[in-house]
Structure 1
């Protein structure tokens, strides 16, 4: 992903967690396309990535300056030879269905991303040979070779954690339409090519930092139409407006 796209993704999430006192409780964002699959394992679009980061917290995050910062993993420690990395996990986190987030959930997610048919994350995590659960809040990745990019991969969809309970309860096709994660917002409605609606998750570990109760992503493929909707007040934000506009 380009630096400009990373910056936009971070900025959009930053608006959600701005902490300012807005009179309105809903944010409407015009996007250039439909997000497609909402399963982090199979999603392959920029719009999907922007949408999913509000639904699915990641193991590691990236700040506006491009630095790696803790998210669901509060810290990490590399072995001297660079072939093992041990992650300390955040305590008290729950998925949207009430399932607890722990080391077993991390193990499940990494193995799912590596083995699920059609997974777009398999190549991104190919360097992980084994996932070892140390205790409830500690997990170790044993690598086939040193990797300087692994933690960066975990700031994107490869690091997004889904509920093992929910993922096992339905088919992959059903889960791609209604993912269950541990992010600040949970899925409320998804009508492909029409709208994606997410609602604030009150049990999120940073719930008090998120202002809007509801966020709606609207796929509007025509940049001129997005601009007109923005000017008319039907959108609060619009992505990818033509430079000359």
Structure 2
């Protein structure tokens, strides 16, 4: 549809959104990428089979499925929208949904195979009706389809995305179409003039500036070079507000953590992991480095912003006596040494150097290895590094957030023992098969206990999403802590 036709219809996307990001996106589609920050770009290009609203509630008005039915726990019927096209002109159909899901389950480099593990087959009832037949009850399904697994890619470009972290030109159904990108360079998308949602999108172009240092993002926003900046430093809030910018803050269940490879030294020794977990003061880190912006993590995967949170069930505190007990029990009385890749931005370095100093009091020597994105985390997933410091962003269903980090077939599958830890996997299954609220809360808490007992992830805090933007930019925060720039989610005031 041409711009002139937009004008005739009374809707013309206007303006540009300029977004600085300190790293690089890991890939240009949902199935083969891995970074939580990818979503900020992906949701502008992709719509989901099931989309969710700002409260993380599945919402048919935001979905490629205009409705769905759940006749029983093993069957979900999706009724697709008519007259929706992928950017290459391929029509949205039950066949394209089936092919997408089969690819997600079987592609060797798929990052969503674990998410779709309970999906048996997809039946094409007719051109616009796709029935999911589940091999077992799976309560997170609708929320899972609001994430990477439900970001439908056109079958016409499947062959362009057969490698992990592929950066080829995608074709999806979203509000914006891919234009161009390069590492540490602008990633540009433009309005889809054949978009299915009336009066959307509301801006003509989004430019994601990759490889921008955090301080440059703040200064550029104040100078007018950028329009919206994610995760600015707390000490810059007043300066941005004085410049007339809007600053928004909202707690999430996103996590900041050290991910450890328990199959490598020194982490194969569980006492080394437990000693690390008790050897630094989370409250002090949040106070000194972040001016109490975030919430210290004493409760594992289930933070205060979730319905599963139990304030009385704490797991890890700063405890010198416990540290020494584990060091002695592990034959590490004099401490131990390890390398830790971290992102090379100033805030991360301040945080990890603060923790580094606390660990040193126990003879635990953490050798920081500052690297740019995505290098600081890629080695961990490729098997060359024994750890990485990053985190895990919020997911609409907490099960998926935990499963990503400990589930068999999930992205962190490589940290699991050869037998995949049957006790843990059984609890993942129990949560997934539980639909009623109260039993699910207790099952989720037991899953949390099992994960924390293993000390595979040394958590620091629950992340508060912070965003600063031009006062005339209208944008509502989503509960997942991510930027949603697709559909009609962002606009300039007129």
- Give the alignment's TM-score, normalised by structure 1: 0.86
Among 156, 159, 176, the alignment partner of 1:185 is: 176
Distance 1:222 1:185 in 2: 26
What corresponds to 2:155 in structure 1?
A: 164
What corresponds to 2:406 in structure 1?
A: none
Q: How big is the shift at 1:21?
A: 8.9
Among 198, 208, 215, the alignment partner of 1:217 is: 208
What corresponds to 1:79 in structure 2?
A: 71
Among 168, 193, 199, the alignment partner of 1:202 is: 193
Are 1:41 and 2:17 matched, yes or no? Answer: no
Query: Relative to structure 1, is the Cα distance of residues 220 and 239 closer, same or farther in structure 2, using a 3 angstrom cutoff?
Result: farther
Among 67, 80, 90, the alignment partner of 2:81 is: 90
CA contact (8 A) 2:33 2:166 kept: no
Distance 2:98 2:112 in 1: 14
What corresponds to 2:18 in structure 1?
A: 28
CA contact (8 A) 1:184 1:207 kept: no
Among 54, 57, 71, the alignment partner of 2:47 is: 57
Farther off after superposition, 49-58 or 221-230:
221-230
Distance 2:37 2:81 in 1: 28
Distance 1:163 1:79 in 2: 29
Distance 1:145 1:214 in 2: 43
Aligned ranges for residues 60-139 of structure 1 at < 5 Å?
Answer: 60-70=50-60, 71-80=63-72, 82-139=73-130
Q: How big is the shift at 1:209?
A: 2.1
Distance 1:117 1:41 in 2: 10
Structure 2 residue runs without a partner (length 5+): 1-10, 237-494
Distance 1:98 1:175 in 2: 22
Query: Relative to structure 1, is the Cα distance of residues 54 and 47 closer, same or farther in structure 2, using a 3 angstrom cutoff?
Result: same
Higher helix residue share: 2
Distance 2:103 2:145 in 1: 14
Q: How big is the shift at 1:117?
A: 1.5
CA contact (8 A) 2:221 2:229 kept: yes
Q: How big is the shift at 1:207?
A: 5.5
Q: How big is the shift at 1:244?
A: 2.2
Where does structure 1 differ by over 3 angstroms across 4 or more consecutive aligned residues?
173-176
* Root mean square deviation of aligned Cα: 2.0
> Computing the radius of gyration over CA atoms, which structure comes out larger, 1 or 2?
2
Secondary structure, counterpart of 2:33 in structure 1:
coil
Secondary structure, counterpart of 1:187 in structure 2:
strand
Farther off after superposition, 227-236 or 208-217:
208-217
- Give the alignment's TM-score, normalised by structure 2: 0.44
Deviations, residues 40-68 of structure 1 (Å, cap 9, x unaligned): 11111122111000101101111112211
Query: Relative to structure 1, is the Cα distance of residues 92 and 21 closer, same or farther in structure 2, using a 3 angstrom cutoff?
Result: closer
Q: How big is the shift at 1:175?
A: 5.9
Secondary structure, counterpart of 2:95 in structure 1:
helix
Deviations, residues 205-244 of structure 1 (Å, cap 9, x unaligned): 0252222111100124522111011111000011110122
